[in-house]
Amino acid sequence: GAVVSQHPSWVICKSGTSVKIECRSLDFQATTMFWYRQFPKQSLMLMATSNEGSKATYEQGVEKDKFLINHASLTLSTLTVTSAHPEDSSFYICSARDSRDGYTFGSGTRLTVV
Amino acid sequence: QKEVEQDPGPLSVPEGAIVSLNCTYSNSAFQYFMWYRQYSRKGPELLMYTYSSGNKEDGRFTAQVDKSSKYISLFIRDSQPSDSATYLCAMSAGTGFQKLVFGTGTRLLVSP
């Protein structure tokens, strides 16, 4: 089946620094990828839709300048959390649409900002 | 009112029991319905994917969609401790890259 690789799986960073999370579709091309955020015991909240070669579409309430998304190729999208603060600590998950299997998710990245 | 409602549980059952998980939704435009399983600190894993109303079976899992009632179900037969996880329903309005709308997830605990 389709595989989406997300890296890193966990990261700890100091407040004020930036963190980049990568999402790769390994065996298919993904013109569109999605970035979610998940708080403990809560469901996934869509942050933005990442489109290859164009600007991402952000959901209402999500700060574009804080969560920078780049989708430079058909197999790679990156999410950069800029000037991270403790309230940005969360579980971030990407997904991509695969016509065979629906939406395939990465394994997630646990971000802790100290 | 949320677009998708799902009981967060937890739902505790003994090994071998039949498990019924459900979601209701309000948007009649939803046509694609999915069930995901998520283990702690992992990304969701697709279990079942159905289009419009009807049933779909895959091994111990059966998904049902009743669009007239805006109600979907996932049944797990002969439940196993390894089925203990959070089950998320998700749905989208159409083809292409329509965004998914998720339920809050139901935590299932299967005891040996």
Across residues B11-26, what is the average pLDDT? 97
| pLDDT 10s digits, B88-100 | 999 988 765 577 8
Q: Do A34 and B105 touch (CB under 8 A)?
A: no
What is the edge-to-edge ordering of all strands in the sheet holding A67-73?
A: A4-7, A19-25, A76-81, A67-73
| pLDDT 10s digits, A77-93 | 999 999 999 999 999 99
Half-sphere exposure of A78 (CA within 13 A, CB side): 13
Contacts of A101 in chain B (CB under 8 A): 46, 49
Burial of B108 (0-12, 13-18, 19+ CB in 10 A): buried
Strands A57-58 and A44-51, how do they pair? Answer: antiparallel
Range scoring the smallest mean pLDDT among A105-109, B33-37, B98-102:
B98-102
Strand, helix or coil for residue B1? coil
Best residue in A44, A57, A71, A93 for a mutation probing chain B (most B CBs within 10 Å): A44
| pLDDT 10s digits, A42-79 | 888 999 999 888 889 999 999 999 999 999 889 999 99
Of B34, B41, B43, the CB nearest to A102: B34
